[in-house]
Amino acid sequence: MNLILRKLFAWGSMIGAFAVIYFFTFPHYRQGESSLAGKSAENIQLALADGQSTSLANYKGKVVVLNFWATWCPPCVEETPSLIQLQQRIAPRNGVVLGVSVDEDEAAYRAFLQQHGINYPTSRDASKKSAIDYGTSMYPETYVIGRDGRILRKIIGPQDWNSPEMTAYFDSILGKS
């Protein structure tokens, strides 16, 4: 009887562990951290790749897709083409993708921007201070910030920004084009 209970406990533990892993791979988990929704976005200072200085506050009135990324991060590289397309789609409707690279190697960062044809404002923060200020735990990590400067959504991990769900989401906050 004791052996049967141990086997049942072992199987139950394995099933429980797989259930937890399965849950965290679901897109709905990555699609938003409700505890941040409605909080004011941290106003970070940015030195853009084109040499201009700005801050997140300068984008108030726009919907901002604040994306923390790195050139050495395969999921970041994977989502780059869809971020480029997202920028093209939302820019005419007063939206902007704003990238913040945590690369230490400036040459790798600049080469990446050129090789991938990045069409949205981006900056490099080798200190990772801005990512830390936001509580970023992995890369890529993205915050959708409303026109009023409040966080609407936090997305952990890579995202297909052109999926029907994301297109509908941005249509709902930007208005249909």
Reported as a single tens digit per residue, the pLDDT across 68-78 is 999 999 999 99
SS3 161: coil
**pTM across the whole model:** 0.80
Three-state secondary structure string covering 4-18: HHHHHHHHHHHHHHH
Reported as a single tens digit per residue, the pLDDT across 24-76 is 444 444 445 556 788 889 999 998 888 889 999 999 999 999 999 999 999 99
53 phi and psi angles, rounded to 5 deg: -105, 145
Domain map (residue ranges) of the chain? 1-30, 32-174
The rounded distance, in Å, linking the Cα atoms of 152 and 132 is 19
The rounded distance, in Å, linking the Cα atoms of 90 and 63 is 9
Topology (CATH) of 32-174: Glutaredoxin (3.40.30)
